[in-house]
Amino acid sequence: MLASKGRFGQAGGVTETWCIRGRRLEAGDLAQIRGLLAAHPTWSRRRLSEELTRLWDWRTPTGQLKDIAARDLLNRLEARGLITLPPRQRRGGRQVPRARRAPDPPGVPWPRVEAAGSAGVSELVPLSWHLAPAGDPQRAQIARYLSQHHYLGYPDPLGQLHYLVRDRQGRDLACLLFGPAAWTVAARDAFIGWSPRQRQARLGHLANNSRFLLLPWWVQVPGLASHVLAAAVRRVRVDWPAQHGRALWLVETFVEAERFAGTCYRAANWLCVGSTRGRTRNDRWHRRDTPRKQVFLFSMAADFRHRLCAP
């Protein structure tokens, strides 16, 4: 989301400022970016974004450099003709985990559970939850499951909490990812009632359930999906502050209306507050290019509105 508060001149001047990804951008910032590009013409876009975050000391509340936000900022400036970035490199960008690229090893079939459809939740609990950090072998397993069984595949893992859920016998049941919330969602923002300034200041208190996969051989177990979701919000309430440095007050997710009814989210007490407009975050020309999705929210604090809309 780019919020305009002025206009860059064609010669590089700026009458006021712009706010991109929550950062106020002025003439000196643009000159600094152009200086980097001129001084290092062979640098990749990734190297440029990383250096820019170091120069600006642009960090998350937990101290991590916001290089992905910086890369998005650079792309948006280029889209408006204000800078020219180096060509994209084939080796650049998000590296797909090995588990996504490689086929199953010979002689190691996918686990199959006999008569899973006749099982009940009571036969599977208590569930065990594994939070898989970067480098953990279970993280690659999560990526493998999502790549092969989720219709959206495995997303950019940056900032995402990765959960692998197992039953009491240690069998894999489900995968869930929770990452940063979408910058703007009309239905969500209207439901909360916050201003753009309040959203910019407190968006880090929201999480997005970007993926939920109940492994195919468990989908017929009645009530299992909603049971996993109910446990998931209890887990992420604790793990989110440790990862992102902020308390978690609200969780969102998007359910593609033509594919799913969102029944398990409703059963787990998530509230549907509307639908998206069918556009991506970078849809500058307002052309509908993605399926409409229902917007579901789960409140982690009874007074979430008061907290998010505080002056």
Which tens digit of pLDDT belongs to each residue from 207-225?
A: 999 999 999 989 889 999 9
Measured distance CA(45)–CA(7) in Å, rounded: 24
Q: Is 2's pLDDT higher than 70?
A: no
Measured distance CA(32)–CA(56) in Å, rounded: 10
Find the mean pLDDT for residues 120-136: 92
- Tell me what pLDDT residue 114 has: 46
Complete DSSP assignment for 100-115: HHSPPPTT-PPP--TT
Find the mean pLDDT for residues 178-202: 94
Give domain limits for the chain: 2-79, 111-308
Q: Is 99's pLDDT higher than 60?
A: no
- Tell me what pLDDT residue 244 has: 87
- Tell me what pLDDT residue 274 has: 95
Find the mean pLDDT for residues 47-58: 85
**b/e per residue, 53-87, with b = 16+ CB within 10 A?**
beeeebebeeeebbbbbbbbbbebbeeeebbebee
- Name the residue with higher pLDDT: 135 or 109: 135
**Token pair in block for residue 289:** 């290019």
Architecture of the CATH domain 111-308: 3-Layer(aba) Sandwich (3.40)
Question: Residue 198: which H helix or E strand, with range?
Answer: helix 196-202
User: What is the band of 31 on the pLDDT scale with cuts at 50, 70, 90?
Assistant: confident
The alpha carbons of the chain give a radius of gyration, in whole angstroms, of 21
**Token pair in block for residue 191:** 């439901």
Strands (E) across the chain are located at 2-5, 17-20, 23-25, 128-131, 161-166, 172-180, 206-214, 250-256, 271-275, 293-299
Q: Is 182's pLDDT higher than 80?
A: yes
- Tell me what pLDDT residue 265 has: 97
**Token pair in block for residue 296:** 């579901």
- Name the residue with higher pLDDT: 281 or 223: 223
